[in-house]
Every structure is written in structure tokens, then in C-alpha cells.
Amino acid sequence: MIKRFCVSLMLLSLVNLLFDLGRSEEHAQKQRKVEALYYAEQTSAPLPEGADRNRNAESRKQRTQNQADRRVVSSDTGILVGRNGTRTHSSLGALKKENPDTVAWLSVPGTPIDYPVVQCKDVAFYLNHNFFLEPDAYGCLFVKEQADLQTPGTNFVIYGHNMRDGSMFGSLISYENRHFYENHKLIRLDTGRECREYEVMSVLKTHLFQNREDTFKYYQFYQANTEEEFKNYNQNLKALSLYDTGVKASYGDHFLTLSTCSSYVEDGRLAVVARQ
């Protein structure tokens, strides 16, 4: 009886493994498709320094060939300037044509994070639908309706699933390790008008506080209207940070927050906050 139970358990585990592998491969195929849409628009986009995604090799080769033609000249604006002095910005045109909800493209050099970001009124939709609007457990990176890229507030929050295969925001968990942070400090966000660069400032773990108003809810913070509001936000980040990155912030700075689930407690959350 015990032997039969063990065999059944092994078979069930094998079925689950094969299912996960199949789902991962399907996701990878969709990702290659959406990458092709984005990078086809980047006739001279730079290859993110240190990037190694181990996928879409032809796209990476083309970006490497074009790298000498463009450069980021301002860490504040992220404006891309050609060698002839022409100011240019990358385009999200092909992505917007495929999915009008597209608002940006997010990349973290050296990680699998290289995805489109969408926005719509129904935030729950992209929890279980992909960029092509198909039902998909991987979902899509998204921002809430109140987030505004074109008139930037203090904080821009992007949400994504923590997938077991490391895709979507699954690799953010690695930021719990300071050594990983030291080698992955840079985050890039292409808004279609400019390519913004951010430096990771804080890595924190917390959980949802649905019924408490006296707690720090980073996921509800978008705008510091006063210096006092900013000071309160900054102090809370420092208090919850897993380690001190040494990155300082001042009133008037802009931030990008990447948020995902964390299983360390029920309704746990991990957030990576970066300063522009």
C-alpha cells in the first residue's frame, strides 16, 4: 500500500513538473514575440550593459551592432542622442498597435526582466492575462490607473507576479541578497518619449495591511505634495530596508518601485525602490 502511494505521488509530481515546463516554454514563446515587436522599433537602441538574457539571440546581436550609434547622455532625463547630435527617443509604436494599454518597457540589465508595462482601469485583468490579452497565469507587468508616466509623480509603482521559473518579477527575490544588488543596481524604463535610468535605493519586505491606516503602504504612495510627506516616505523606506545601499534621496526626486509577492508571510510583498 505504501509503495503504491509513493509511486502515485511520484507520478503526480512528474505530471506537475511536465505541466510547469510546458507552461514555461509557452511563456517564453510569447516573450520572444513581444520582444520582437519592441526591438524591431529600436533601430539603434543600446544593448543594456551586462545584459545576458539567454534568449532572442538575433535581437541581441542587432542591438550590439547598433550600440556605437547611440548613447545615454543624461542619467536625469535618459535622453538618447545620436553621434550626429540628433535627439531621439525609442518608440512603443508597434507595442501600442498590438495592445493600446502599453505605457512603457521595463528592463533590468543582467536579469530576465525585459517586459512591456500596461495600464488599464481593471487592474485585476492583467493578473491573469498576458500582453496579447490571452488568459495566462503569468499575467503582465502593470501599473494602476492613478499612475502617470507623462506627468511624473514622486513614485511610479509597477506590479508583476513572482513566478517560480524566475520570469516576470520572479528574479526580484534575488535582491534580498546584497551581493546580487551590488551587481544589478540599474533599472531602465522606456516611456516611448525617453529612456529613464534609475538606481536601486531600497529593498524591502512587508505585507498588505488591508484594514490598518497607521502603517506604511508603499503601494499607495504616488505623490509627495510637501517636504514633510517626502520625509515620512523616505524614513519608512529606510526603516524597512533589508540593507543600506548608501543611495540618498532628496525632496523632488522621482522613484520607481517594482512590487511582487513574497511568501515569507501571508500576503507578503517584496519591493525594489529605485531613484531616478
The predicted-structure confidence for 28-59, as pLDDT tens digits, reads as follows 899 999 999 998 877 544 444 444 444 444 43
Residues 203-214 pLDDT 10s: 999 877 655 555
Residue 266: phi and psi, rounded to 5, are -65, 135
DSSP string, 128-154: SB-TTS-B-TT--EEE-TT--TTTT-S
pLDDT of 258 > 70? The answer is yes
Element (H, E) at 195: strand 195-207
Place of cell 485585476: 124
Q: How confident is the model at residue 1 (pLDDT cuts 50, 70, 90)?
A: low
Q: Give residue 122's pLDDT band: very low, low, confident or very high (50, 70, 90).
A: very high
Enumerate the domain spans of the chain: 22-275
**Fold of the CATH domain 22-275:** Sortase; Chain: A; (2.40.260)
